[in-house]
Amino acid sequence: MTGRKKLPADSLVKKYECVIYTSNPAALRKMGIVLQSELPGFITALATLKQIELAAAIPEVTFIKAPDNLNMHNK
């Protein structure tokens, strides 16, 4: 053994900052989206491209604002 800590699998997935306008932040949290801040009507989040796609399909989400350039975060 090398003594290296094994990272959780989801920490290696590329995540992107976005703003999601939603009436139900809990639904996004259940999808595994990392909520950074929660305000009335919208949240800021770190999400994979797949999570953003899935979130866009639920009725509680009215709009998703992603940055013009996708800056990746590995947190």
Query: What is the rounded distance in angstroms from the CA atom of residue 27 to the CA atom of residue 46?
Result: 15
Model pLDDT, residue 1: 46
Specify the residue for token string 């920490």.
Answer: 11
pLDDT tens, 58-70?
A: 999 999 998 766 5
How far apart are alpha carbons 16 and 74 in whole angstroms? 9
pLDDT of residue 34: 95
Ramachandran sector of residue 15 (left: φ over 0; alpha: ψ -120 to 50; beta: rest): beta
CATH number of 14-73: 3.30.70.80
Greatest Cα-to-Cα distance within the chain, rounded to the nearest angstrom: 49
Residues 33-56, mean pLDDT to the nearest whole number:
95
pTM of the model: 0.76
C-beta atoms surrounding 12 within 10 Å: 8
Tokens matching residue 32: 């595994």
Rounded to an integer, the average pLDDT of 21-45 is 96
Domain limits, the chain: 14-73
Asked if pLDDT for residue 3 goes beyond 60, the answer is no
